[in-house]
C-alpha cells in the first residue's frame, strides 16, 4: 500500500444507536425481577423474565476496568482450587462470586441457573462449574457435536436428535422450575432474525476486504456482539444490522476510511488482550496502521468449511418447512448448528490454518499474532502458521501474554516497544518524527 495516502474519514452514524441498544441491554441485566443465569443462547429471550449474563465479556470488562479487582478475583478462585492458568474470563468473573461483590462494589449478581456453551474449548464446556459448585442451582449441559473429515449427513442425524432433545429438556425444565411460559412464536421470530442478521454479518465481513478499511477491528468487536452477547429484541436486532450494513456499504462505495491515513493493514488471529486495547489506537495514530480483524472476527462469517473466505452458505429460513411444534423449531436450529455453518467448534479447528487465506483475501500487509500462555484454543500451530505467512511475504510479529481475559503476565510497555520495532523494521517512521 502506498505510504502517505490520505483518505476521507467520518465517524460511524450507527454508533449512537449501538450505544443506545447497549445501554438498554445493560439496564435490562440490572433488573432484579428477572431470573438471572449464566449462558449465551439467544432463545432465552423467549422467556418473559429470564436474563443471561455471559462470563466471557464480564471477565474481559473487569480485566479492562480494574487490574486490582481482577487480581483479587482470580486469587479468590485460585485459593479455592481453581487453576491459575485456566481461562482468564472464568476466574476474573467468578472471583466476584466468592468475594460477594463486583468491581464497582455492588453486590455480585448470583446466578440462578447455568447453561454453558460447550464450544470451542474445554474451558467453555466447564464454564459455569464455578456457579454450580458454589451453590446447587440447575445446570444444563449441552454438547456441540462435531466430527472431522468428509461431511456425512447420516452421521449427523443422531447428533441432531441429541442436541434437539437436550435443548427442549432445558426449556421444559426452565418453564417448570421458574414458572415461566416459553413463547414459541417469539422463538420462530428469533430464528428468522438470526438468519437475516447472519447475512448482514457476512456482508460486513466481506466489506472489510476493501482498501481503505471501512471499519477497524475495534468496531467489529463492538458491533458484532449486537444481538449475540448483547441480547436485544429480534426485530430491533434486524433493523440495527440492516442500518449498520448499509452504512458500511456506503463507506466502501465512497472510500470512507476508518483511519484516514491508512498505510498498513495488519491482521490478528484470535482475541486481543481485552485489558489493553490501547495498542489498536497506538498503531493507528503513530503509524497509520489499521487492524482489519482476523479470521476469528471479521473472517468468521465468511469462512467456509474448506477454510477459504469465499462466503459461507448461511441457510435461510425454509419457507417450505412446517414449524409447528417446539421440537420442529429446535430440530431445525440443531440442524444448523450440529455441523453446518454455525458450527463454532468446527471453526475453531479450521481457523488456525486459515491465516494465509485470510491475509490474501482481506489484503493484509502483516500479522500481529498473540501467543497466549495456556491458550488451548488459541495457540494450535500458531508459530508454524506465522512461518507460512512470512514465506508468503507477510511481515509477522509474535508477542506473548497470558490469556485475553487475564492481564497477569502481559508486559504492556514491552509490547509497545515491540510494535515500534516491528513497524520501524518495515521502514515506517512514527508520524510524530
Binding site for other proteins (CB under 8 A): 77, 80-87, 90, 118, 121-123, 125-126, 129-130, 132-133, 139-143, 145-149, 152, 155, 157-159, 161-162, 165-166, 169, 349, 371-377, 379-384, 387
Q: Which residue number, 88 or 299, has a Cβ lying nearer to other proteins?
A: 88
Q: Which residue number, 234 or 273, has a Cβ lying nearer to other proteins?
A: 273
All three cell numbers of 214, joined, read 471501512
134 phi and psi, to 5 degrees?
-75, -45
Between the alpha carbon of residue 79 and those of residues 41, 332, 405, the distances in Å are: 31, 44, 19
* Distance of closest approach, residue 374 Cβ to other proteins, in angstroms: 4
Q: Which residue number, 122 or 424, has a Cβ lying nearer to other proteins?
A: 122
CA distance 405 to 321: 42
* Distance of closest approach, residue 2 Cβ to other proteins, in angstroms: 34
All three cell numbers of 367, joined, read 500479522
Q: Which residue number, 139 or 251, has a Cβ lying nearer to other proteins?
A: 139
Query: In degrees to the nearest 10, what's the CA dihedral of 38, 43, 46, 48?
Result: 0
Which parts of 179-277 fold into alpha helices (H)? Answer: 184-207, 217-223, 234-253
* Distance of closest approach, residue 326 Cβ to other proteins, in angstroms: 16
* Distance of closest approach, residue 378 Cβ to other proteins, in angstroms: 9
113 phi and psi, to 5 degrees?
-160, 170
CB 97 within 8 A of CB 134: yes
Q: Which residue number, 130 or 261, has a Cβ lying nearer to other proteins?
A: 130
* Distance of closest approach, residue 48 Cβ to other proteins, in angstroms: 25
Strand-pair partners of 114: 38, 139
* Distance of closest approach, residue 260 Cβ to other proteins, in angstroms: 36
Nearest to 231 by CA among 28, 59, 14: 28
Q: Cell 459455569 maps to which residue? A: 128
* Distance of closest approach, residue 159 Cβ to other proteins, in angstroms: 6
Q: Which residue number, 281 or 387, has a Cβ lying nearer to other proteins?
A: 387
Which parts of 53-139 fold into alpha helices (H)? Answer: 55-65, 67-78, 88-99, 122-125, 129-134
Q: Which residue number, 323 or 376, has a Cβ lying nearer to other proteins?
A: 376
DSSP state at residue 101: B
Amino acid at each position: 500500500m502506498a505510504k502517505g495516502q490520505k483518505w476521507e474519514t467520518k465517524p460511524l452514524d450507527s454508533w449512537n444507536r449501538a450505544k443506545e441498544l447497549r445501554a438498554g441491554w445493560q439496564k435490562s441485566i440490572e433488573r432484579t425481577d428477572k431470573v438471572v443465569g449464566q449462558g449465551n443462547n439467544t432463545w432465552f429471550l423467549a422467556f418473559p423474565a429470564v436474563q443471561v449474563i455471559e462470563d466471557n465479556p464480564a471477565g474481559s470488562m473487569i480485566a479492562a476496568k480494574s487490574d486490582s479487582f481482577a487480581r483479587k478475583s482470580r486469587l479468590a478462585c485460585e485459593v479455592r482450587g481453581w487453576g491459575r492458568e485456566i481461562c482468564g474470563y472464568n476466574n476474573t468473573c467468578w472471583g466476584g462470586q466468592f468475594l460477594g461483590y463486583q468491581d464497582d462494589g455492588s453486590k455480585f449478581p448470583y446466578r440462578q441457573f447455568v447453561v454453558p456453551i460447550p464450544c470451542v474449548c474445554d474451558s467453555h464446556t466447564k464454564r459455569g462449574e464455578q456457579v454450580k459448585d458454589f451453590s446447587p442451582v440447575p445446570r444444563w449441559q449441552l454438547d456441540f457435536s462435531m466430527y472431522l473429515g468428509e461431511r456425512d449427513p447420516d452421521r449427523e442425524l443422531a447428533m441432531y436428535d441429541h442436541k434437539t432433545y437436550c435443548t427442549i429438556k432445558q426449556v421444559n425444565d426452565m418453564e417448570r422450575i421458574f414458572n415461566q411460559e416459553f413463547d414459541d412464536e417469539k422463538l420462530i421470530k428469533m430464528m428468522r432474525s438470526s438468519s437475516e442478521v447472519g447475512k448482514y454479518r457476512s456482508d460486513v465481513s466481506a466489506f472489510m476486504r476493501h482498501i481503505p478499511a471501512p471499519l477497524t477491528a475495534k468496531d467489529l468487536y463492538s458491533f458484532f456482539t449486537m444481538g449475540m452477547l448483547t441480547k436485544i429484541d429480534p426485530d430491533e436486532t434486524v433493523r440495527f444490522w440492516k442500518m449498520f450494513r448499509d452504512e458500511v456499504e456506503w463507506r466502501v462505495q465512497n472510500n470512507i476510511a476508518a483511519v484516514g491515513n491508512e498505510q498498513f493493514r495488519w491482521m490478528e488471529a484470535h482475541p486481543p488482550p481485552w485489558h489493553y486495547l490501547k495498542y489498536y489506537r497506538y498503531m493507528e495514530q503513530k503509524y497509520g496502521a489499521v487492524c482489519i480483524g482476523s479470521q476469528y472476527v471479521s473472517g468468521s462469517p465468511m469462512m467456509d468449511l474448506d477454510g477459504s473466505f469465499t462466503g459461507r452458505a448461511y441457510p435461510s429460513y425454509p419457507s417450505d418447512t412446517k414449524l409447528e411444534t417446539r421440537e420442529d423449531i429446535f430440530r431445525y436450529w440443531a440442524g444448523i448448528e450440529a455441523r453446518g455453518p454455525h458450527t463454532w467448534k468446527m471453526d475453531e479447528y479450521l481457523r488456525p490454518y486459515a491465516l494465509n487465506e485470510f491475509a490474501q483475501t482481506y489484503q493484509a500487509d502483516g500479522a500481529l499474532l498473540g501467543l497466549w500462555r495456556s491458550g488451548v484454543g488459541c495457540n494450535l500451530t500458531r508459530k508454524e502458521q506465522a512461518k507460512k505467512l512470512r514465506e508468503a511475504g507477510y511481515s509477522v510479529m509474535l508477542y506473548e501474554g497470558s490469556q485475553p481475559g487475564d492481564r497477569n503476565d502481559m508486559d504492556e510497555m514491552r509490547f509497545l516497544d515491540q510494535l515500534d520495532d516491528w513497524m520501524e523494521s518495515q521502514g515506517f517512521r512514527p508520524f510524530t518524527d
